[in-house]
Amino acid sequence: MIIGPKNDKFICRTGTDITRFFEECELDYQHDGSTRLSWTEDRLTELLEMPSAAANTLPDTFVHVLQVLMRKADAMGNDPDRSIALAELNKPLRREGFEAYYEEDDNLYIRHTKTLVVSMSVNPHRPFTPQEVEKRNNLEEFLNNCSEDELIEDVLLPLLRQLGFHRITAEGHKDKALEYGKDIWMRYVLPTQHVLYFGIQAKKGKLDSSGMTKHGNANISEIHNQVLMMLGHEIFDPEVNRRVLVDHAFIVAGGEITKQAKNWLGNNLDASKRSQILFMDRDDIMNLFIASNMPLPDKSVPNTPFAYSDEPPF
């Protein structure tokens, strides 16, 4: 597909064109004049041998090559939306358990067919497209009105699964007596196959350090004891059939987490526990949600009013 087959689905490229193609992919590959097919195959093999960011994903550089290959600006005359080329690309991908598809931004994405994990480098600090900005605004409106359970079930759980966490269990909201300071616990497998365990304490609104808690806000002192319970209480992982301690505690807020709140908690924890605390506020949630290309919660999708007309539909 890169060198150009004898059909009209893809651009036919000479050796010089192939070099230029890889330059567009930000790769320093120079075609050496040998057979285009075998040379390109060797380069793709090198890219596939690179490490992946997470399980069930393809290497970022390889995915970027496919995105450049499938740009809609390079559409052929008989395939303006590149649907024919996409079907051709999916033949080898599906044999390996992956699937390519276009999103609303007209960019190509690759997902694992069983786990639906998208192969992409998540950069929450990149500039967003106008469509992504609109999507982010809809998500913000949802966070303004959702309950704590909706924050966890409709936003956090899908996002954490997308980011590669495993065994995500929201047991605290099934039985508050068994919560022990955490709303969620989960595990993350490092490339070395070592496992880290995380606990999450989620609050719907703003997290501050004011002397008196305002309506809709949570005071950092309210979760101080919950964090200590979270770090000190063992959880049972049925996958390894043993009890383990939480390695890190996430404090997640659907609103802002003030700097004063972070400082207060840091000053009231000893040095070892302080290094185990991670914060995630509303901006972090929204940016990660959009950068990960997550679908919006059903309740956040704006309803399009039906356009009535006096004209008959025929």
Query: In the chain, which residues have pLDDT < 50?
Result: 173-179, 212, 304, 306
The CB density around residue 69, as the number of other CB atoms within 10 Å, is 18
Q: What region does 118 belong to: left with phi over 0, alpha with psi -120 to 50, or beta?
A: beta
Sheet holding 98-102, edge to edge: 98-102, 108-112, 118-119
Sequence-ordered list of residues with C-beta below 8 angstroms from that of 294, at least 6 positions apart, any chain:
158, 159, 162
Q: Report pLDDT for 156.
A: 92
First to last CA, the chain: 45
Distance CA 41, CA 128 (A): 34
Q: Cα separation of 3 and 21, whole Å?
A: 10
Per DSSP, helices labelled H in 169-258 are: 220-232
The answer to whether residues 201 and 223 touch, using CB atoms and an 8 Å cutoff, is yes
In angstroms, rounded to a whole number, what is the distance separating the alpha carbons of residues 247 and 198? 6
Tell me the domains of the chain and their CATH numbers.
Answer: 15-119 (no CATH), 130-300 (3.40.91)
Structure tokens at 146: 């959702």
E strand or H helix at 202: strand 195-203
- Cα–Cα distance for residue pair 203/34, rounded to 1 Å: 60
CB 285 within 8 A of CB 294: no
Determine whether 256 is exposed, middle or buried from the number of CB atoms within 10 Å of its CB (0-12, 13-18, 19+).
middle
Contact between 287 and 143 (Cβ < 8 Å) = no
Is 55 within 8 Å of 117 (Cβ atoms)?
yes
CB–CB of 96/246 below 8 Å? no
How far is it, in rounded angstroms, from Cα 287 to Cα 306? 31
| Per-residue confidence (pLDDT) for residue 177, from 0 to 100 | 43
What letter does residue 156 receive in the DSSP assignment? I
